[in-house]
Amino acid sequence: MDGRRLLVVDDEPVVRELLAATLRFAGYTVTSAATGSQALEAAGAEPPDLVLLDVMLPDMDGFEVIRRLRDRPRPLSGDRPGQVPVLFLTARDTTQDKINGLRLGGDDYVTKPFDLEELLARIEAVLRRAGAAPEDRTLRVADLELDPDGHQVTRAGVPVRLSPTEFRLLHYLIVNAGRVVSKAQILEHVWRYDFAGDTSIVDTYVSYVRRKIDKAGPKLIHTMHGVGYVLRGPRS
């Protein structure tokens, strides 16, 4: 495993020692901690490549630990400032706990009791993802750019502020760039229901988006009367 460093954080000595022994046997360098405070101190002293983090700790929960790890100003691992991968370990398997962990930046979530072989596979998968170059998912048409991950839009390099609904509408149009989409299709994909057949809301929001993105350059959103709308670049 080329000596990658793992930090195991669990207040149960038996679990902590079992994990440490298993991971060392698999070729990892392992540091252990029994509390959130010890985990933060260990991460500061020896930046880990991945943290196995129990949610239920005696001094602070794992969610607070990950908040503090994410808030640190200096790099914790390689060239990923403050973004050390975290795999949660917990006996709490409610959906809300999983959502909380993942929203805070957790990379995976394993409930106890767990299979050691599966855990090793999950660790390897998280480390592979952490080492991969981030995929550029920016959508572009002419000088219009939409970043679905960062929820940002620019036109000719100038930021365009959109409401969440306007962003979803523009995202749907740019994903279908060059293709005419009907008002009914827009209602289904942007609002998720049909407004009892009333499509005037589509016209209203298209006008909002058009005013914001088309004021910075040639018109990109076109009305196809009796059909719908199409987003396309300027024709030469």
Please report the pLDDT score of residue 77 as a whole number.
43
pLDDT computed for residue 136 by the predictor: 66
C-alpha–C-alpha distance, residues 107 and 115, integer Å: 18
Distance CA 128, CA 98 (A): 21
Sequential DSSP letters for 12-25: -HHHHHHHHHHHHH
* pLDDT of the residue at 235: 75
**Domains of the chain in sequence order:** 5-131 (3.40.50.2300), 139-231 (1.10.10.10)
Give residue 78's pLDDT.
Answer: 41
pTM of the model: 0.51
Question: What b-and-e string marks burial along 174-204, b requiring 16 or more CB atoms within 10 Å of the CB?
Answer: bebbeeebebebbbebbeeeeeeeeeeebee
pLDDT at residue 236, as a whole number:
54
- pLDDT for 152 equals 92
Walk along the chain (236 residues) in steps of 10 and give the mean pLDDT of each run.
81 91 88 93 88 89 81 48 74 61 67 84 84 69 90 92 93 93 90 69 94 88 94 82
Cα gap 35→65, rounded to integer Å: 9
CB atoms within 10 A of CB 76: 20
Strands 144-147 and 5-9: unpaired
DSSP assigned state of 189: I
Q: Give CA–CA dist 156/178, Å, rounded.
A: 19
**In the prediction, which pLDDT does 81 show?**
38
